[in-house]
Amino acid sequence: MRNLAAGLLAAMALAGAAAAEMRVVALGDSLTHGYGLPPADGFVPQLEAWLRRNGAEDVTVVNAGVSGDTTAGGLARLEWSLGDGADALIVELGGNDLLRGIDPAASRANLEAILRKAGARGLPVLLSGLEAPGNYGPDYKRAFDAMYPELAEEYGALLDPSFLEGVQDDRSLWQSDGIHPNAEGVTVIVERIGPLVLELVEQAREDG
């Protein structure tokens, strides 16, 4: 009987530990996916390791990054990416919209739909933005740059104003393609964004 009781207690403890695990889905493009890098050097593995070194040992970060994806693509696969067990969402999208010159109004509508769907699930969101170059003209840049802070405020999301902050002006932190950060660049991004993700995790705990 003692062995049976001990086994039941161990099973309950394991179940409780599993229930306490946090699942953060990172929905993004090649910057999230880790294009051109060994798996361990990508954004998601580095972020998860950073979180665990900084007190969030129970957090798993799910890589829902797809190279080449636009905001429309992210929206189309959102429900599948979240599945049934997501506790929080990181959104890093818009770079491929920029590369294709997509109307910022369309990008904004897609991001807004993502935030609305996440809100319907009760998921806290960290929205990570980008800054548009000036080659599309000042009106395009103004509209693109404004959509991230405005949507974050409207939907109560945490805001990371620029995913590439800290690396965009240091070419030693880029891969040879000039588009994607190298492993050292990803480390810089993770060190900067990590505290925001910890805040996101804390929101998820409070909501849970």
Which of 166, 38, 67 lies closest to 174 in space, CA to CA? 166
- Residue 1, classed as helix, strand or coil, is coil
Active site (catalytic) residues: 30, 177, 180
pLDDT tens string, the chain, 208 residues long: the values are: 555 444 444 444 444 444 469 999 999 999 999 999 999 999 999 999 999 999 999 999 999 999 999 999 999 999 999 987 899 999 999 999 999 999 999 999 999 999 999 999 999 999 999 999 999 999 999 999 999 999 999 999 999 999 999 999 999 999 999 999 999 999 999 999 999 999 999 999 998 7
Query: Which domains, ranges and CATH numbers included, belong to the chain?
Result: 22-207 (3.40.50.1110)
151 residue type, one letter? L
Asked if 87 and 25 touch (Cβ cutoff 8 Å), the reply is no
